[in-house]
């Protein structure tokens, strides 16, 4: 099943696209500029040695993704784009990797909550899940990485499960971390990871939750 990544031409989107394509899933990189999307898709396919990735405009990408759409749009533009293509998201799961910037103040809504509120206000039925906030693009680009967890926050159990399956597919472990509001915590942890990266002179720290039977 094809999977669209809005803003998929960026660092996080390309990293996710590489992982899903390696897991033999077809990926559509959404861009504000379809030609840019196609160009980056060609470069990723060359790296992969396959034709799993294609590029398109954000709207076309969302329309071509039947059940789940992933957003790696930056905080600065995500609400505007989501409002613009809301019709293509109706009835689907939207997995938001976007972080409200700067990450941290848990008194402020997360990017995923803002996305949900914007789509609700338009009367669209979109089940929003937050995931990947703590997973660096550098980690995603690696073919092998240390075990790492992905916090999955959302108000709909089926949507969380669908997201968890997509996470498992790319060699990471999805951990249910509560309702969508908890995405504020995931964003705050990312703020801490950025400070840890700086202190230790590294680029791609992540998280692992202990005490869970990996099943």
The residue among 66 and 102 lying less far from ligand NAP, judged by its C-beta, is 102
Q: Report the alpha-carbon distance of residue 203 to residue 83 in Å, rounded.
A: 33
Q: The sheet that has 93-96: what strands, in order across it? A: 53-57, 27-31, 3-6, 68-71, 93-96, 127-130, 149-154, 173-176
- Tell me if 98 contacts ligand NAP by CB under 6 A: yes
CB of 123 to ligand NAP, least distance (A): 23
Kindly state the number of chain residues that form the binding site for ligand NAP, as judged by CB under 6 A. 25
In the complex, residue closest to ligand NAP by CB: 77
CB of 24 to ligand NAP, least distance (A): 23
Q: Which 166-205 residues touch ligand NAP, going by CB under 6 A?
A: none
Smallest separation, CB 124 to ligand NAP (Å): 19
Distance CA 92, CA 65 (A): 9
Which is closer to ligand NAP, CB of 91 or CB of 147?
147
Q: Which is nearer to ligand NAP, 5 or 159 (CB)?
A: 5
Please tell me the distance from the alpha carbon of residue 206 to that of residue 74, in angstroms, as a whole number.
20
User: Contact, 16 vs 70, CB < 8 A?
Assistant: yes
Q: Under a CB-based contact definition with an 8 Å cutoff, are residues 45 and 53 in contact?
A: yes
How far is it, in rounded angstroms, from Cα 139 to Cα 204? 6
Binder among 3, 13, 60, 65 for ligand NAP (CB under 6 A): 13
Q: How is residue 5 annotated by DSSP?
A: E
CB of 63 to ligand NAP, least distance (A): 16
Question: Which helix (H) or strand (E) element contains residue 55?
Answer: strand 53-57
Tell whether residue 156 is a contact of ligand NAP (CB under 6 A): no
Q: How far apart are CA 64 and CA 45, in angstroms?
A: 19
x/- site string to ligand NAP, residues 47 to 76, per CB under 6 A? Answer: -------------------------xxxxx
User: Considering beta carbons, is residue 76 or 210 the nearer one to ligand NAP?
Assistant: 76
Residues that bind ligand NAP (CB under 6 A): 7, 9-13, 31-33, 36, 72-77, 81, 97-99, 132-133, 135-137
């Amino acid at each position: 099943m094809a999977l669209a990544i809005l803003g998929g031409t960026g660092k996080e989107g390309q990293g996710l696209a590489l992982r899903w394509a390696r897991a033999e899933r077809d990926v559509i990189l959404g861009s504000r500029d379809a030609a840019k999307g196609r160009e980056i898709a060609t470069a990723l396919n060359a790296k992969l040695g396959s034709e799993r990735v294609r590029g398109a405009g954000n709207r076309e990408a969302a329309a071509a993704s039947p059940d789940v759409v992933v957003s790696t749009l930056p905080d600065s533009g995500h609400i505007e784009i989501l409002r613009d293509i809301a019709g293509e998201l109706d009835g689907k799961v939207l997995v938001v990797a976007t972080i409200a910037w700067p990450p941290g103040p848990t008194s402020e809504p997360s990017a995923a909550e803002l996305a949900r509120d914007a789509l609700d206000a338009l009367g669209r039925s979109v089940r929003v899940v937050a995931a990947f906030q703590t997973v660096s693009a550098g980690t995603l680009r690696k073919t092998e990485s240390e075990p790492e967890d992905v916090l999955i926050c959302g108000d709909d159990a089926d949507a969380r499960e669908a997201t968890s399956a997509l996470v498992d597919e790319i060699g990471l472990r999805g951990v249910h971390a509560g309702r969508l509001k908890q995405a504020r915590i995931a964003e705050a942890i990312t703020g801490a990871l950025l400070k840890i990266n700086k202190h230790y002179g590294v680029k791609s720290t992540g998280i692992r939750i202990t005490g869970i039977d990996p099943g």
